[in-house]
Amino acid sequence: MPSPARWTAALTLSAAAVCGPLALPAAAAHAAPAGPASLYAPTALVLSVGHGERAADATAERAVTLSCAPTPSGTHPAPAEACAELRTVDGDPASLSPGDGVLCTKEYDPVVVTVEGVWRGKRLSYERSFANPCVKNAYGPAVFAF
């Protein structure tokens, strides 16, 4: 007859073969590896637009998400173009300029755009009011076209 120690060893090996490795204690199971989760600095933005002169007073009519790393994505209708446009100004929407040859009426129907989030690891908070939607679309024709 086999010894109790042999039975214990045999049962342990059988259980490991059938059930997989033994579970770790709860504290060890929740340990996260140290270090970055990605090779890319985070870029995740939320863009919104609404009618009014200030974001605090305007109701957001539309909002989209935009992520530019590692690949352009989000709910923005043209993420690749918007990311490319933002890259030309190093992620600073205030540096976007109107396109050449864009003509807009002088109608005053203010719209306000906000951009909140992180661009290449740095916090970004931007708000700008435009005289009307045409002027908004002239600045950053891809970024603000949503």
pLDDT at site 75: 97
Residue listed under structure tokens 């306000």: 112
Q: What per-residue confidence (pLDDT) applies to 101?
A: 84
Tokens 């049962």 — which residue? 11
Q: Are 132 and 109 in contact (CB under 8 A)?
A: yes
What's the token pair of residue 132?
Answer: 């009307």
pLDDT > 80? residue 32: no
pLDDT of residue 38: 58
Q: Classify the phi-psi angles of 136: left when phi > 0, otherwise alpha if psi is within -120 to 50, otherwise beta.
A: alpha
The answer to whether 96 and 88 are in contact (CB under 8 A) is no
Could you give the 3-state DSSP secondary structure of residue 47?
Answer: strand
Helix locations, the chain, DSSP H: 4-19, 26-29, 79-88, 133-138
* pLDDT above 60 for 31: no
Domain boundaries, the chain: 44-138
Amino acid at 107: E
Rounded average pLDDT over 74-92: 96
- What average pLDDT does this structure show over 106-134? 95
Residue 63: the pLDDT is 96
d(CA 96, CA 116): 16
Q: What is the DSSP string of 65-78?
A: EEE-SSS-BSSSSS
Dist. CA 69–CA 39, nearest whole Å: 10
Give the pLDDT mean for 115-138: 95
Class of domain 44-138: alpha beta
What is the pTM for the complete model shown?
Answer: 0.70
Tens digits of per-residue pLDDT, 37-77? 556 678 899 999 999 999 999 999 999 999 998 899 999 99
